[in-house]
Every structure is written in structure tokens, then in C-alpha cells.
Amino acid sequence: MKTLSTLIALCVLSVCGAAHAQAPAVRDGRHDFDFEFGAWHAKVARLTKPLSGSTEWVNYEGPSVVHQMWDGRANIGEIDLAGPAGNIRGMSVRLYDPESRQWSIRWANARDGSLGLPMIGGFAGGRGEFYNQEDFNGRAVYVRFIFSEITATTFKLEQAFSADGGKTWEPNWRASFVRKEAGR
């Protein structure tokens, strides 16, 4: 025969267990960028004069490599593009904040050696969205990155600017990535 204290303990465990089972799991996004680790071939279209009404795009292509750090909680991406308008060399530094469960992305351009302001965001439903506010040609604009169409061998990245507080967005960087085969 069970004692009263044993029955109470079993009831408490049962209630706590039921409440725990119903609570939504807290999402850990530290592995959101795992899909991107490795070597890629990038094709990029860049709008030559964003927020000016221009529709002239310039194409680039070249290698991109993403290195995992800190068990997936950080990574560094390197890109080296060439096209008719010249070269674009840079790197992105991405850090995961376990408290906020968000990523920050900073871009460093080899041309001027500066590290940009962080874009903050994360992934949901197979799509990553990141935002910040920057100065562009003397005015404050919102900047948005979207990672989409993510598979084991491909993904897309789009950057867009908004000069009207996020009501409308003008894409100015469209990139598609294809994973390089081993040994190539």
C-alpha cells in the first residue's frame, strides 16, 4: 500500500510532467547556419545605384567559403567575387546570442577594412531574416537580408533597402549559391 506522501509525490510529478509536456519547446537556433558550412560557388547581381530609380544591375561570381566556429554558435564566411565592374572581396562574421536566441551578422569589405553594423535576426520556417538601420548616401535606411530556398546544395540571399521605414523594399543584391563538389 502506498503512503500518502508517495501518492502526493506521484500526483505532483504527474501534474508537473503534464504541464511540462504541454509547454512549447524553446527553440535553440545555434545551428541555423549549419546548412552553409563548406565551399560554394556564388552568382551575384548588384544594383549599381540603390534608391535612385536605377534599374542597372552588374553581375559577379566567384567562390564563397563558410567556416564553423564555437560548435555552430559562430561562423565566418569569405567571398571573392569578380565581374565587369571589378572585384568584391569580403567576409561576414556571424554570432549567435543564446539569451536572445538571435544571430548578428557583420560585413567586412576588403576594400576599406571596416566592420559594419550588426544585422539582427534569425530563422523560422526555412527562411532567415535579418535587419538593421544604416547610413546610405547621407540618409538613414533600413537594411534587410533574406536567406531563402535553402537546400543541401543551394540557397539564395537577397539584400534590400527601405527609405520609408520598411513600408517598401528595393532589392539591391541578389545572390544564388551552389555547393561545390568535394575536390573541386
Please tell me the pTM assigned to this model.
0.81
Residues 134, 144 contacting (CB under 8 angstroms): no
Mean pLDDT computed over every residue of the chain: 87
Q: Which residue has the higher pLDDT, 40 or 184?
A: 40
Is the predicted pLDDT of residue 28 greater than 90, yes or no?
Answer: no
Q: For residue 22, what pLDDT is reported?
A: 61
Mean pLDDT of 133-140: 93
Selection from 114, 135, 128, 138 nearest residue 159 by Cα = 128
Residues 132, 120 contacting (CB under 8 angstroms): yes
Q: For residue 149, what pLDDT is reported?
A: 96
Q: For residue 59, what pLDDT is reported?
A: 97
Cell of 65: 567559403
Residues 170, 50 contacting (CB under 8 angstroms): yes
Mean pLDDT of 111-127: 92
Length of the chain: 184
Q: For residue 19, what pLDDT is reported?
A: 45
Q: Which residue has the higher pLDDT, 175 or 6?
A: 175
Cell of 176: 544564388
Mean pLDDT of 120-133: 95
Q: List alpha helices for the chain, DSSP H.
A: 4-22
Going by their DSSP bridges, the two strands 57-69 and 74-83 should be labelled as: antiparallel
Across-strand partners of 41?
63, 178
Q: Work out the pLDDT band at 2, boundaries 50, 70, 90.
A: very low
What are 54-109's pLDDT values in tens digits? 999 999 999 999 999 998 899 999 999 999 989 999 999 999 999 999 999 999 99
Q: Which residue has the higher pLDDT, 23 or 4?
A: 23
Domains of the chain, start order: 26-179 (2.40.128.20)
Cell of 36: 552553409
- Integer-rounded Cα Rg, in Å, for the chain is 22
- DSSP 8-state code for residue 151: -
Q: For residue 35, what pLDDT is reported?
A: 92
Mean pLDDT of 109-135: 93
Q: Work out the pLDDT band at 24, boundaries 50, 70, 90.
A: low
